[in-house]
Structure 1
């Protein structure tokens, strides 16, 4: 691998250097060959032979320089003070096969000075959920952290019950969070200029060419964050814990905790059982992204030349960036060009899916059967299943909308092949449903990782109907069954 450990060159107040605390007798969970190839990890025979020891914290390869980052943050809208890597270490930074910097971050590997009341460990269930979700995002084409692999061990970890300790090597384009800047301005404000230069030079070098590099950097973060959240909304993803310490400066999804993919469409869905007020409900995510950035930006007023007017100009593009990306994406999901007429038709469809609590993913994919049923038997089954749930009145509404949709496609003079390509390329067949993840976890807790491996293969190509799939992979919960919230304990 091509190491480029730059974070460790920063002021030592920003981190604590330490080795991992090994797990007891780690054994393989799953290894991500895609990520290994991307990093150049697979080109090193010793790394490949010892990957379980590396992720288990037993072996630290030459070139790794482990450290725990300090950061702070607002959690559920309240200032939480100093936080930091309480159970993870930034092990190394490397250039991948696209010459892009990637962080190798080992999660679940023992106590650090930032552990607070935690034990520094992770359990198998949360590790599997994060591993599969990062991989699912890659298949969906949405920017996010991924993972090189995970291990399970004989280290006991107490949560609601005693569980097996696990560790995961997370790979992300950055682990710098909005909360890093919050920590600096609270505890070491004299470092803000140096740290801002590092963020620009490392992650946004194109901003150096602008007349006001800092303002250009801040606006770029705003736009990337807006686009990230628009991507979440389009795939029906709820992050669950959008604290400022869980949002990356690169607009790449980070920290898969109590996340979930929408099944029965309910915009008010709360997927985090600790979110008692619904702050991080699916429909609130765009507004919370804006709130987090509005909290983050004023810290840069400590820098010369950055005024309130500057920050207002930086934040201003957020709404337009989000709406443009979301609306264009929504139209692509219907195979139609972005226009006011297209949006009207798209929002009618969304309202219908919501009013009848239909499955979000399946409903979009079923449009293939509306357009060309003879060539899409799987989608025809989805469509028939959907229609069977409708009341007589709702079925008439659906038939009217479908007729107008087909008429609109005919007016656009788009070929069936063009529409089908758009529908297939923008509407996945498979997302990581909660029951899918739970079945993999249940089997893994009994020492069987075949289901993890199957889901890994399935989610590698989520836009294609696959033979390895089961009916359960596309079956939503019953219409009257609540979508269960996920625990934060991990």
Structure 2
């Protein structure tokens, strides 16, 4: 590995250095060799992946550390938080010369554990491992993982479960909540910390007339793009607190996430979210709210000689980029999924008509787009109780596509509409087998989700392509992990 140890150069008040606490009886779970190679892991590193991914081996070039941050959770100020069960164990350069964090999750108690035990269970570890892989394979920026290990050590949740560790990778673990903690508890560190964030992650902003405003705008835009990608594939994060969003617009902290199956805009995947704050349809507005909270923490960075009221107005103006950026990418992406020209004045209305059909008929989101892509209009029509509604949509759809480059539009549909998503019941089956030391289903899903835009009849199963039958209860996913 080629180390680029940046975070330890910051003020020590921002972290606590400590070694991980390995679990007893650590054993191999699954290894992402392609990612390890992308990270320039040597053959020796790859051979020692179980020791690295279970906290038994650390690196002299980077003393492991737990970050401190704060956050708003479910809309309420939660005060000091931090890495309560995770450690940043390295920062390394990948093959593209990009700095990547290696973060070990489930590594034991830290000063920021609060009431937690510092551990992770096999159930949530497998879900995060597969979810990060799925999103990356869909082309959506997200944390990934080199591998995970299980163990013989029990961890108490609602019941006693098997402990596990995950070696997560991300381009950044600096969260919106880092700024909230600094502004609340160590305000003198804010200028230098912000400067480093710009140097490390947005160096193009350094030459701007007001680098902080340029930085704020880029963070807002990247977050808007990320959420537009979530909406397009039906991904619900489940717990969009300010400590769970980072500054580079890459998906972080998979907990009670879910990929929507039947199209329900009000769908709440996180059963701990009793008010539906983080329902699928609310994700854009929640992203906007989080960024508004974050911008308040940049107010003290008003440059010398700058009118303070004007500075507040200029920061607020940065947030005006969120909605148009989100809508631009969402509308363009939806047109591509539909096989419609993005420039046509009626394409978005037509796409909305299709989504209304999916909602009223409770059709599967992912497979309905595949049927549209395959021009299997009869199958879609047969699933509709209101046939007139679908026939009206289809008439408009054909009218818009008339005289267009149909071949190019159809080709793009095959590139953006996945055949496979990580449905909750798919992950659950892999978890149940893994709890009996059978990781074959993790391997199958890992392969299946590696190329989600291509049909894989040799790997797929019928349950990969449809929701659970309506007479079976929906899987309950909560913040417990």
So what's the TM-score if we normalise by structure 2? 0.96
Match of 1:374 in 2: none
Per the TM alignment, residue 85 of structure 1 is displaced from its structure 2 partner at its CA by: 0.2
Contact 2:341/2:401 (CA < 8 Å) preserved in 1? no
Per the TM alignment, residue 479 of structure 1 is displaced from its structure 2 partner at its CA by: 4.7
Match of 1:213 in 2: 211
Q: Tell me whether 1:52 sits opposite 2:56 in the alignment.
A: no
Q: Secondary structure at the match of 1:466?
A: coil
Counterpart-to-counterpart distance in 1, 2:278 and 2:471: 23
Match of 1:242 in 2: 240
Per the TM alignment, residue 344 of structure 1 is displaced from its structure 2 partner at its CA by: 1.1
Moved more, 445-454 or 400-409: 400-409
Match of 2:390 in 1: 398
Q: Secondary structure at the match of 2:413?
A: helix
Contact 1:33/1:148 (CA < 8 Å) preserved in 2? yes
Q: Secondary structure at the match of 2:100?
A: strand
Q: Secondary structure at the match of 2:229?
A: helix
1:445 pairs with 435, 449, 463, which one? Answer: 435
Contact 2:227/2:283 (CA < 8 Å) preserved in 1? yes
2:352 pairs with 347, 351, 373, which one? Answer: 347
Q: Deviations over 1:236-276 (max 9, x none)?
A: 00000000000010000000000000001000001111111
Q: Deviations over 1:399-449 (max 9, x none)?
A: 33223322321232x13x212211111110000000110010011011100
Q: Tell me whether 1:317 sits opposite 2:315 in the alignment.
A: no
Q: Deviations over 1:101-157 (max 9, x none)?
A: 110000001000000000000000100000000000111000000000000001110
Q: Deviations over 1:385-406 (max 9, x none)?
A: 5444322xx2232233223322
Match of 1:151 in 2: 149
Counterpart-to-counterpart distance in 2, 1:173 and 1:311: 25
Counterpart-to-counterpart distance in 1, 2:153 and 2:207: 51
Counterpart-to-counterpart distance in 1, 2:411 and 2:165: 39
Q: Deviations over 1:441-484 (max 9, x none)?
A: 01101110010001000000000000211111001123576644
Match of 2:372 in 1: 367
Counterpart-to-counterpart distance in 1, 2:129 and 2:176: 23
Counterpart-to-counterpart distance in 2, 1:106 and 1:331: 39
Counterpart-to-counterpart distance in 2, 1:191 and 1:120: 27
Match runs of 1:287-306 below 5 Å: 287-305=285-303
Contact 1:179/1:244 (CA < 8 Å) preserved in 2? yes
Counterpart-to-counterpart distance in 2, 1:224 and 1:432: 24
Match of 1:373 in 2: none
Counterpart-to-counterpart distance in 2, 1:384 and 1:59: 57
Q: Tell me whether 1:326 sits opposite 2:330 in the alignment.
A: yes
Q: Secondary structure at the match of 1:411?
A: coil
Match of 1:375 in 2: none
Q: Deviations over 1:200-251 (max 9, x none)?
A: 0000000001111010000100000111111100000000000000001000
Contact 2:59/2:89 (CA < 8 Å) preserved in 1? no
Counterpart-to-counterpart distance in 2, 1:265 and 1:480: 17
Counterpart-to-counterpart distance in 1, 2:208 and 2:177: 25
Counterpart-to-counterpart distance in 2, 1:303 and 1:419: 47
1:410 pairs with 402, 415, 418, which one? Answer: 402
1:142 to 1:25, Cα distance in 2 relative to 1, 3 A: same
Runs (5+) with no aligned partner, structure 2: none
Counterpart-to-counterpart distance in 2, 1:227 and 1:212: 23
Per the TM alignment, residue 384 of structure 1 is displaced from its structure 2 partner at its CA by: 5.7
1:335 pairs with 334, 339, 362, which one? Answer: 339
Q: CA RMSD in A?
A: 1.3
Counterpart-to-counterpart distance in 1, 2:473 and 2:219: 36
Match runs of 1:71-470 below 5 Å: 71-305=69-303, 307-338=311-342, 339-370=344-375, 380=376, 386-391=380-385, 394-412=386-404, 414-415=405-406, 417-467=407-457, 468-470=459-461
Counterpart-to-counterpart distance in 1, 2:10 and 2:338: 48
Per the TM alignment, residue 4 of structure 1 is displaced from its structure 2 partner at its CA by: 0.4
Moved more, 343-352 or 60-69: 60-69
Moved more, 174-183 or 403-412: 403-412
Q: Secondary structure at the match of 1:347?
A: helix
